[in-house]
Structure 1
Amino acid sequence: MTTDQHGLAMSGASGAAARHYDQAIDELLHFRAEVDAEAAAALADSPGFPMGHVLAAYLDLLTTEAAGARAARARFESFRRQADESSLLPRERAHVAAVRALLDGDLTTCGALLAEISVAHPRDALALAVGHQLDFFTGDARSLRDRIGGALTAWHEDDRHFGHLLGMYAFGLEEAGHYDRSEQVGLRAVELNPRDVWGIHAVVHTYEMQGRFGEGVRYLDARLDDWSTGTFFNVHTWWHYALYALESGDTRRALEVHDAVLAGGRTSMELLDAAALLWRLLLEGSGRHERWQALADAWPPLVAEPFYAFNDVHAVMSYVGAGRFEEAERLVASREAYTRESRPGVTNVAMTLRVGLPVCRALVAYGRGDFAAVVDLLHPIRHRVNELGGSHAQRDAVQKTLLEAALRDGRHELARTLVSERISVRPCSPFNWLKQAAVADGLGDRAAAAVARGKATTLIAGA
C-alpha cells in the first residue's frame, strides 16, 4: 500500500508508479501536456494501478471529444475486466463509479459522485480538479464555487497544491459573481505559484466581467512568461487577451493575436476559441474571410458525432462565418435526430435540446440575415444559456448575438433593455456604451447617442 503526495492511500502502485502519479497530478493542475506521459509511466510501471487507470480515463474524457471518450472506454473496460473491484479501497471504488458515469455521458452523476469523494477525502486533488472541470462543462457556477470552497479548510498554505486550489476557487467565485473576493483569492493563488495558469485565468475573468480591460492587458503583459507558453491552456489565455483588445476597439490587435496564436488550432478547445473571437468580429460587421474557411475545414471530424453541445455551437459559428450554410444545417439536422433517440442519463441530450439547438438555429438565421428569427430563438433561452457550459465570458457571444439581432431587426425597446442590463453590471465597458449609442440612434435620440459614444471614448482613453 502506498500513499499519494496528499496522504491518501492507493493500492496496486509501486513507489515509482506513485511518484509518476503524483507528478501527473502536478502536471494536470499546471495544464501541462506532460500529464499524459506521467500517467502512462505510472501504468507502465504498475499495470494494475487503479488510480492510474482512473486518471488516464479522466484525461481522455476531459477532452470533450468523442475520440477521447472511445479511447477511455476501451482502456477502462479492459482494466475493469482484469481487476477485482471488491478488493479496491472505498475511495478507489468511488472513482471507478464516477468514471463509469462519465463514460455513460452522465456528467451530472459523475459530478455528484466526485462531490461525495471530496466530502470524505477533501485532499483528493484529482476529484476536486475533475469535478471542477465538470462544473465548468455544465455551467454550474454554484458548484464551481462550493466544490472547492468546501474542501479548502482541509488544506494548508504549505501544501504543494494549495495555490492551485485557490486558483480554482477564484474562478468559481468569479463565475458566481463574487468579483472582489475572486480577485483577492486569484491574486493570492498566483503569488503562491506564478505559473498557475488557471489562477491567472481566474483573475483575467474577473477583470473581463467587470469591464476592466486595461488592467487585464497590463496584468497579462506583466506575467507573459508565466502563461503564454508551455501549457495546453495558453491559447485560451491569448483569446482573453484578444477580447481585451476588442473591448478597447483595437480590432487589428485582436486579429494579430488570432493569426499568431489561435489560427491553425486542431483541438476543440483551440477551434472554439478562434470561432468565438471571429464571431464577435462578424457581429460588428467584419466581412467573411479566409480565416473562417480554415476553421470550417477543421471542425468536421470533431463534430462527426454528438458529444458536447458547446463544441457544436462553435462549429456552426465557423460554418456560418465561412458561408457554408449547408454544412451548418446538416449539423443541426443531425443533432435534431440525436435528441429524438432514447439516451437516458446522457447530459448532452438535454443540453443540446434545451440550449444547443436553439443557439445553433439562431446562428444560422443570423448568417442568413433573418434577425427576427434570431431574437425569437434566443430571447426565450437567454437566462438558461449557462446550461450550454463554458464561462460567462464565453457564453457572452450568444448574448451579443441576441443584442445585435434585436438592433438590426428594429426591436429597439428590447435592445434598450438588453443594453441597460449590461451597463448596469459593467458600466466601464466601452462595448456596452457603444451599443447604448446604437440604441439611441435607433430611437432617434441623437443627443443621447453622442453622450454614450463620448462615454465609450473616455473609458478607452482612461484605460
Structure 2
Amino acid sequence: MSHDQHGLAMTGAGAAAVRHYDRAIDDLLHFRAEVEAEANAALAESPGFAMGHVLSAYLGLLTTEAEDARAARARFGAFLRGIDGGIDSGIGSGGIDSGALLPRERAHVAAVRALLGGDFLTCGALLAGITAEHPRDALALAAGHQIDFFTGDARMLRDRIGGALTAWHEDDPHLGHVLGMYAFGLEEAGHYDRSEEVGLRAVELNPRDVWGIHAVVHTYEMQGRFGDGLRYLDARVPDWSSGTFFNIHNWWHYCLYALETGDVPRVLAVYDAVLAGGRACMELLDAAALLWRLHLEGSDQHERWRALADAWPARVAEPFYAFNDMHAVMSYVGAGRIAEAEKLIAGREAYVAEPHPGVTNHDMTLRVGLPVCRAIVAFGRGDYGAVVDLLHPIRHRVNEFGGSHAQRDAVQRTLLEAALRAGRRDLARVLVSERISVRPCSPYNWLKQAAVAEAMGDGAAAAVARGRAGELARSGIVGASG
C-alpha cells in the first residue's frame, strides 16, 4: 500500500509511480502542461495504478475537447476491461485485483464513468462524496471544481472547497492552491470582499498560482475595479503570462480591463500577440469572446474573425459542450459566415430532438445554448428585436451552460445592445440601471447610460454620463503600465 503526498492510501503504485503521480498533481494545480507527461510516466511505472488511470481520464475529459474525451474513453475503457468488466469482480484479465481497490478509488472510478457518459452532475455529486470523506484529496477537489465551473454552479464552486478547507493547514504546500479555488468560488457566489482577501492570501503563499491570480482578477472585474486589475496583473506578469496552459485566459482578462479604458489598440496588440495563436477550445472561446465585445461596439475585425472561424469547425463537429458552440457561432457570424452558424444550429436542433438520458450537455444545449446561438445569428442579421425576444427570457439562467459571470457577460451585453438598437428603450434603461447599480465605476456602463439617455431625448443626461465614463477611464489608466 502506498500513499500520496497528502497522506491518502493508493493501490497498485510503486514508489516511482507515486513520485510521478505527486508531481502530476502539483502540475495540475499549477496548470502546467507537464501534468500529462507525469501522469503517463506514473502509468508506465505501474500499469495497474488505479488513481493514475483516474487522473489520466480526468485530464482528457475536462478539456471540453471532444477528441480528448474520445481518447480518454478508449484508455479508461481498456483499464476497466483489465479488471474484468468493471470494479465488481475479482482479478481481471489485466492482472488488476478489482477487489483490492479502496472505497475512495472505487468512487473515483464511478465518477469517471459518469463523466465518460456525459453526466457532469452525477460526476460532481460523486466527487463531493469523496471530498466529504477525504477532504485532502486534491484531485477530487480540482476535478470537482472544474465540473462546477462547467455547469455554472456558483454555490458548489464556493461550498465544495469551503467544506474541505479546515482539513488543510498552514504547512501544506498546496494550501495556497486550495485557497485559490475557494477564492474563485467566493467570487462567483458574490462574496467579493472575502474573495479578494482569500485570493490575495493564496497568491502570497504561492506567487505562481495562476488560478489564485485569476480569482483576484475576477473579483476586480465583478466590482468594476479595472484599474486595480490592470495594476495587479502588470505587477505580476512573469507569474501568470507564460509557462502554463492558462496564460491565454489571463491575457483575456487583461484585455477586458484595457477595453474599459477604451484602449482598443492595446487590446488588438495583445490579441495578435497571444490570443490569435490559440488552438484549444478554451483559447478559441477567449478569442471569440474578446472580438465579440468589439463587434458589439461596431468594430470591424473581419480578418481576425476569418482566421478564428477557420479554427472552429473540427472543434464543434459534434455536440459536446454548449458553451463552446456559442463561441463558434460568434466566430462564424463575425466572419460573415451566417450559413455555417445556421448549419451548426441545425445540427444541435437535431441533437436535442433525440433523447440523451443523463447527458448534461443535452439540457444545456436545449435550455440555453440554442437560444443564445440563435440570438447571435439574429444579431448578425440585424434582427435586434428577435435577439431581445430570445435572450430576455433566459437572462437569469444563462449560467446553466457554464462559464463564469465575466464570460457570460458577453450574452448580457448582446441583449443590452440589441435592446438599444431595437428601440426597446424601457428595457435598455432597466438593463443599464442594473449594471450601474452593481458596478458604478465601469466606463462601459456609463457609456450605455449615455446611449439610453440619447435614445430618450435627454441630451444633457447623455453628456453627463459620457463625461463620467471618461473620468473613470482616465482614473483607471493611472498607474497601469503599457
Structure 1 letter corresponding to 2:436: I
Asked if 1:170 is matched to 2:187, the reply is no
Asked if 1:14 is matched to 2:14, the reply is yes
Q: Are 2:291 and 2:301, in contact at CA under 8 Å, matched by a contact in 1? A: no
Q: What is the aligned counterpart of 1:180 among 188, 193, 207? A: 193
Counterpart in 1 of 2:289? 276
Q: What is the aligned counterpart of 1:147 among 160, 172, 180? A: 160
Q: What is the aligned counterpart of 2:422 among 397, 404, 409? A: 409
Q: What is the aligned counterpart of 1:202 among 207, 210, 215? A: 215
Counterpart in 2 of 1:79? 79
- 5+ residue gaps, structure 1: none
For residues 288 and 263 of structure 1, what CA distance do their matches in structure 2 show?
A: 12
For residues 225 and 322 of structure 1, what CA distance do their matches in structure 2 show?
A: 34
* Aligned residue pairs, count: 463
Q: What is the aligned counterpart of 2:143 among 130, 145, 149? A: 130
For residues 221 and 264 of structure 1, what CA distance do their matches in structure 2 show?
A: 22
Counterpart in 2 of 1:96? 109
Q: Are 1:303 and 1:312, in contact at CA under 8 Å, matched by a contact in 2? A: yes
| TM-align CA RMSD | 0.6
Q: Are 1:174 and 1:205, in contact at CA under 8 Å, matched by a contact in 2? A: yes
Structure 1 stretches of 4+ with a deviation exceeding 4 A read none
Counterpart in 1 of 2:28? 28
Counterpart in 1 of 2:378? 365
CA deviation profile, 1:158-201 (whole Å, cap 9, x unmatched): 10100000000000000000000000000000000000000000
Cα offset, 1:342, TM superposition: 1.5
Structure 2 letter corresponding to 1:368: R
For residues 342 and 82 of structure 1, what CA distance do their matches in structure 2 show?
A: 31
Q: Are 1:50 and 1:92, in contact at CA under 8 Å, matched by a contact in 2? A: yes
For residues 77 and 462 of structure 1, what CA distance do their matches in structure 2 show?
A: 56
Cα offset, 1:388, TM superposition: 1.4
For residues 8 and 288 of structure 1, what CA distance do their matches in structure 2 show?
A: 52
Please give the residue correspondences for 1:379-418 in structure 2 after superposition, counting only pairs within 5 Å: 379-418=392-431
CA deviation profile, 1:253-292 (whole Å, cap 9, x unmatched): 1111100000021100110000000000000001241000
For residues 228 and 288 of structure 1, what CA distance do their matches in structure 2 show?
A: 25
Counterpart in 2 of 1:438? 451
CA deviation profile, 1:143-166 (whole Å, cap 9, x unmatched): 000000000000101101000000
Asked if 1:190 is matched to 2:203, the reply is yes
Q: Are 2:252 and 2:275, in contact at CA under 8 Å, matched by a contact in 1? A: yes
Counterpart in 2 of 1:62? 62
Distance 1:219 1:288, change over 3 A: closer
CA deviation profile, 1:373-415 (whole Å, cap 9, x unmatched): 0000000000000001000000000000000000000101100
User: Between the two proteins, what is the percent identity of the paired residues?
Assistant: 80
Asked if 1:106 is matched to 2:103, the reply is no
CA deviation profile, 1:274-321 (whole Å, cap 9, x unmatched): 000000000000124100001110000000000000000000000000
Counterpart in 2 of 1:319? 332
Counterpart in 2 of 1:160? 173
Counterpart in 2 of 1:4? 4
Q: Are 2:11 and 2:100, in contact at CA under 8 Å, matched by a contact in 1? A: no
Counterpart in 2 of 1:428? 441
Counterpart in 1 of 2:363? 350
For residues 109 and 136 of structure 1, what CA distance do their matches in structure 2 show?
A: 15
For residues 462 and 87 of structure 1, what CA distance do their matches in structure 2 show?
A: 63
TM-score (norm 1): 0.99
Structure 1 letter corresponding to 2:2: T
For residues 205 and 212 of structure 2, what CA distance do their matches in structure 1 show?
A: 10
Structure 1 letter corresponding to 2:451: A
Secondary structure at 1:263's aligned position in 2? helix
Counterpart in 2 of 1:309? 322
Q: Are 1:145 and 1:176, in contact at CA under 8 Å, matched by a contact in 2? A: yes
Secondary structure at 2:452's aligned position in 1? helix
Counterpart in 2 of 1:296? 309
Cα offset, 1:85, TM superposition: 2.7
For residues 340 and 462 of structure 1, what CA distance do their matches in structure 2 show?
A: 51
Structure 2 letter corresponding to 1:451: V
Cα offset, 1:61, TM superposition: 0.3
Q: Are 1:101 and 1:110, in contact at CA under 8 Å, matched by a contact in 2? A: yes
CA deviation profile, 1:78-114 (whole Å, cap 9, x unmatched): 0011124332100000000000000000000000000
Q: Are 1:264 and 1:294, in contact at CA under 8 Å, matched by a contact in 2? A: no
Cα offset, 1:39, TM superposition: 0.1
For residues 461 and 259 of structure 2, what CA distance do their matches in structure 1 show?
A: 23
Counterpart in 1 of 2:128? 115
Q: Are 2:21 and 2:39, in contact at CA under 8 Å, matched by a contact in 1? A: yes
Q: Are 1:288 and 1:323, in contact at CA under 8 Å, matched by a contact in 2? A: no
Q: Are 1:407 and 1:439, in contact at CA under 8 Å, matched by a contact in 2? A: yes
Structure 1 letter corresponding to 2:271: H
For residues 181 and 393 of structure 1, what CA distance do their matches in structure 2 show?
A: 18
Please give the residue correspondences for 1:256-275 in structure 2 after superposition, counting only pairs within 5 Å: 256-275=269-288
Structure 2 letter corresponding to 1:18: V
